[in-house]
Amino acid sequence: MPSRAKKKSLSIIIYMSLDTRSLLVALRSSSLRDELKVHYQPIIRLRTGTIIGYEALLRWHHPKLGMIPPDIFIPFAEQHELIFEITQILFDKVLRDQSCWNHEKNTLISLNISAASLTSNDLIELLKPLVSDPEISNKKVILEITETATLSNPENAKALINKLSNEGFRFALDDFGTGYSSLTNLRNLRIDEIKIDKSFIQDLDHQTHTDKVLIDAILSIAHAFGAIVVAEGIETEETLLQLKSMNCYAGQGYIFAKPMPASAIDDWYEQWPAQWRQLAHQKSHAVI
């Protein structure tokens, strides 16, 4: 079974084995704050290997239920109106983590914003302490939103995005290509970055001509709207090479690093130039 399918079925098994009540009790538990951890995954400029920033990704280690993946607990939390609290925990932890890593304090930090938070003015309140911290400013924060999130209440979403954009926040359209209104969204919203969903990227080298044409089209659309493109889920050198040859601006994926705790970032950063040199060397020998 391909690894993606395996991961998905594993998530389903975890979900099925958890009854709704225990998940809800666990999410409402006072120890949730300690059990949630933030991991960070670097985003790399593909031409130069420069580290553009890091995406913050939540992890939940429940003492009895085990590791619960975010794509299980986040939708569940949204459904039960617990997402506000979780976003608050995420922001607090990201703030605290800033002091953990010593290099490149100027890199960007990408935060995932759920649909429910996007249509609520509380998001502005939540963001205030984050950007009043001297380590972080609104210019450093990229808020990642999915197309689906912007669709649930488009007028509210547009108003909030405009307001926050005026204050210097940047927005990324996440999982691009999986929604249904990509072009309309791009015309209506102030989007600085487009993240191509990993389903288009993974095994790009094995995909058909149509998939490559599709990615080329996404790149052209993004350029036309003045947005940069980040390709998610780069796992192989072949994929990296393809994306470079298509002039994709940036990428993220296991080939560079898996999401890691803040305490591991400095070590990863130290070895990154050597890792990049090795990737670049291998690329120069590859045949497109």
Binding site for ligand C2E (CB under 6 A): 41, 57-58, 69-71, 74, 90, 112-114, 144, 174-175, 198, 232-235, 252-254, 259
The footprint of Ca ion on residues 74-103 (CB under 5 A) is none
- Applying CB under 5 A, among 97, 147, 174, 193 the residue interacting with Ca ion is 174
Give the phi and the psi of residue 174 in degrees, each rounded to 5. -85, 160
- Answer yes or no: are the C-beta atoms of 23 and 66 closer than 8 Å: no
Residue 142: half-sphere exposure toward Cβ, Cα within 13 Å: 25
24-32, 125-133, 140-148, 254-262 -> range binding Ca ion (CB under 5 A):
140-148
Q: Which residue, 175 or 193, is less far from Ca ion as judged by CB?
A: 175
- Spell out, one character per residue from 232 to 271, where the chain touches Ca ion: x when CB under 5 A holds, - when not: x---------------------------------------
Give the phi and the psi of residue 108 in degrees, each rounded to 5. -80, 155
Q: Dihedral, CA atoms, 175, 247, 183, 209, nearest 10 degrees?
A: -80
Q: How far is the CB of 260 from ligand C2E (least distance, A)?
A: 10
- Applying CB under 5 A, among 112, 114, 117, 239 the residue interacting with Ca ion is 112
- Answer yes or no: are the C-beta atoms of 58 and 37 closer than 8 Å: yes
Q: Which residues are CB-neighbours of 192 under 8 A, at least 6 positions away? A: 142, 170, 171, 172, 227, 228
Q: How far is the CB of 183 from ligand C2E (least distance, A)?
A: 21
CA dist., res. 77 & res. 36, Å (int): 13
Sites of contact with Ca ion (CB under 5 A): 112, 144, 174-175, 232
